[in-house]
Amino acid sequence: MALATVGGRPVLILKEGTTRTRGDEARRINIMAARAIADAVKTTLGPKGMDKMIVDSLGDITVSNDGATILQEMEVAHPAAKLMVNLAKAQDKEVGDGTTTSVVLAGELLTEAEALLQKDIHPTVIVEGYERALKFVESELEKLAIKVDPDNEEWLIKVAETAMSSKLVSAEKKKLAEIAVRAVKAVEEMKGDKRYVDIDNVKIVKKKGKSLAETEFIKGVILDKEVVHGDMPKRVKDAKIALLNVPLEIKKPEIDMEVQISSPQELREFIEQETRILREKVEKIHSVGANVVFCQKGIDEVAQHFLAKYGIMAVRRVSEKDMQRLEKATGGKIVNNLDDLTENELGKAGLVEERKIGDDKMVFIEECENPRAVTILLRAGADTILDEAERGLKDALYVVRNVVEDGKIFYGGGSIQEQLAIRLREYAHTEKGKEQLAMEAFANALESIPRILAENAGMDAVDAIVELRNAHKSGKTSVGIDVLNGKVGDMAEIGVVDTYRGVKNAIAAATETAILIIKTDDIIAAKPYEEKGKEKGKGGEEEEGGGEFKSEFD
């Protein structure tokens, strides 16, 4: 039982079934679990990285080398391992790329820390050294960052290609990179004197069929819907679009009531009244000049008839998110009351057309003037390729956004990590305490990125790192691992580029996660959930230094 003593008397603390592991053993188990996660994705790093096949409990298969995707699909139990998964998720959400790098770097920081712990270096000293190293590295990143013109599409395409170079879709990375750049530049805004890009304004629509080469950029919106009535036009040029958040139906009363009809004449009058109301709604739409209607609510069959009679195309049950995209793309305003609909609220598009894509009908709203919402129609012959292409394209969109907003880049291929490692080792020698050892360990962890890139490319990692160090010490700071050609090369000439935000965030997040694990010396795990009917106890168990925290990593 988990007991403490107060005045010489034992006091019960934890419930029965709760396990507790403390001290060096707790730290060892946590480091082991976190490293296992890093090792799982280590071989996926870089263009020559391997893919992982994950089969879930339902038998669904995911094939990917995207770090965030792999870790999200894995069913991880250990809390320290979950911290690494959360690291990948945070990197993916905030930056959109560099998930594998951040997880691998955190694993290497923990490996280096474990070696120091075995030399009786106190965890607090290691943490202090890592924090000083991170502070130094962040200041050096500011100095080493290369400023670029966010309007220079050549740089943006290079960044996008680098982000997709390790994906299954790398064969079409040039085309997809160009599409990603066009999409980001289309939705770019200025907020004060700063550029801003909301990636949510770029919608990716996946449709099985054809090949990746058939992927299209649409200067507007695609709706996975069809025109509601067969007699309506399926193609409208110079469209004037009404965006309605009101039903084109007879509104039902909010209170319970009944209408008593005693004769066919009364029934006919009742139906005519409903028809008149719906006709007036449609006439209001027609009177302002609208020839296309997108309605978030339902459209009655009678209203459909009148819309078709006036030659108005209509789509119903459009999602709120798509309505917002239509508003941004067409320049129209969503109307919540038909009385408020005027010509000024109408959106505009060069073409609205219903097309058959694969087995489905879809409505294309394109040729919009200065749209703030755009769409990418992604095509591929297999669902697996489609899913991986979507992940690669999202990475490309995020990294292009990062460069547009920050205006800074680094050369890739592990060149920036090597340069940071060299500078950090020199700086560490100015420290007099044991923190120097931790700072050197941090430098070793940074250097692991080019080393792993070389290993995954089938190169001799030792020879590659020696050559890389010599190049950087001689002032060639853009030299990195040329993975595609299996040698050390100049990343500036090859065009391999990393984003400033991606590199900085990956190092900071990896360091914070590693420090959190190093500082943890106590694991208190509650009893696993039991089904009803099973006994629940009243006491607890505690183990000094070598508890039985059950995990696949033990």
Q: Which band of pLDDT confidence, cut at 50, 70 and 90, is reported for residue 539?
A: very low
Q: Which band of pLDDT confidence, cut at 50, 70 and 90, is reported for residue 448?
A: very high
pLDDT over 80 at 175, yes or no? yes
Tell me what pLDDT residue 13 has: 67
Which helix (H) or strand (E) covers residue 6, if one does? strand 3-6
Q: Which band of pLDDT confidence, cut at 50, 70 and 90, is reported for residue 540?
A: very low
CA distance 544 to 536: 24
Question: Are residues 468 and 346 part of one domain?
Answer: no
pLDDT tens profile 241-276: 999 999 998 776 566 667 666 667 666 665 676 788
Structural domain contains residue 181:
no
Question: Are residues 131 and 22 part of one domain?
Answer: yes
Question: Are residues 497 and 438 part of one domain?
Answer: yes
Least confident of 219-223, 255-259, 427-431: 255-259
The answer for residues whose C-beta is within 8 angstroms of residue 353's C-beta and 6 or more apart is 234, 235, 236, 363, 364, 366
Catalytic residue, candidates 19, 43, 66, 513: 66
Find out whether 387 and 62 touch, Cβ atoms under 8 Å. Answer: yes
Question: Are residues 427 and 352 part of one domain?
Answer: no
Question: Are residues 416 and 339 part of one domain?
Answer: no
Structural domain contains residue 403:
no
pLDDT tens profile 105-145: 999 999 999 999 999 999 999 999 999 999 999 999 999 99
pLDDT over 50 at 546, yes or no? no
Question: Are residues 340 and 417 part of one domain?
Answer: no
Structural domain contains residue 121:
yes
CA distance 445 to 452: 11
Q: Which band of pLDDT confidence, cut at 50, 70 and 90, is reported for residue 387?
A: confident
Structural domain contains residue 157:
no
Question: Are residues 429 and 313 part of one domain?
Answer: no
Catalytic residue, candidates 92, 395, 482, 498: 395
pLDDT tens profile 501-537: 999 999 999 999 999 999 887 766 666 666 554 444 4
Q: Which amino acid is located at 432 in the chain?
A: K
Tell me what pLDDT residue 139 has: 96
CA distance 329 to 327: 6
Q: Which band of pLDDT confidence, cut at 50, 70 and 90, is reported for residue 541?
A: very low
Give residue 49's domain range.
3-147+411-525
* Whole-number percent of the chain with pLDDT over 90: 62
Question: Are residues 321 and 436 part of one domain?
Answer: no
pLDDT over 60 at 476, yes or no? yes
Sign of CA dihedral 390, 391, 396, 402: positive
Question: Are residues 426 and 347 part of one domain?
Answer: no
CA distance 341 to 528: 58
Sign of CA dihedral 420, 425, 429, 432: positive
Structural domain contains residue 78:
yes
pLDDT over 50 at 414, yes or no? yes
Tell me what pLDDT residue 264 has: 74
Return the ∠ at Cα 158 (arms to 171 and 447), rounded to 5°: 95
Nearest to 67 by CA among 33, 106, 29, 30: 106
Tell me what pLDDT residue 167 has: 65
Mean pLDDT over 65-81 rounds to 85
Query: pTM of the entire structure?
Result: 0.82
Mean pLDDT over 336-357 rounds to 94
Structural domain contains residue 206:
no
Mean pLDDT over 8-14 rounds to 61
Least confident of 177-181, 265-269, 303-307, 342-346: 265-269
Question: Are residues 105 and 241 part of one domain?
Answer: no
Tell me what pLDDT residue 321 has: 94
Helices (H) and strands (E) in the chain, counts: 16, 23
Find out whether 415 and 471 touch, Cβ atoms under 8 Å. Answer: no
pLDDT over 90 at 78, yes or no? no
Structural domain contains residue 120:
yes
66: annotated active-site residue = yes
Residue matched to tokens 């697996």 = 384
Nearest to 341 by CA among 420, 255, 243: 243
Catalytic residue, candidates 100, 101, 330, 513: 100
pLDDT over 90 at 17, yes or no? no
pLDDT over 80 at 298, yes or no? yes
Q: How many folded domains does the chain comprise? A: 2
Question: Are residues 415 and 356 part of one domain?
Answer: no
Mapped to the 3 state alphabet, what secondary structure does 236-277 carry? EEEEEEEEECCCECCCCCCCCCCCCCCCHHHHHHHHHHHHHH
pLDDT over 50 at 54, yes or no? yes
Question: Are residues 139 and 229 part of one domain?
Answer: no
The mean of the pLDDT values for the chain is 87
Q: Which band of pLDDT confidence, cut at 50, 70 and 90, is reported for residue 72?
A: confident
Q: Which band of pLDDT confidence, cut at 50, 70 and 90, is reported for residue 413?
A: very high
Mean pLDDT over 180-188 rounds to 94
CATH value at residue 57: 1.10.560.10
Tell me what pLDDT residue 252 has: 65
Structural domain contains residue 103:
yes
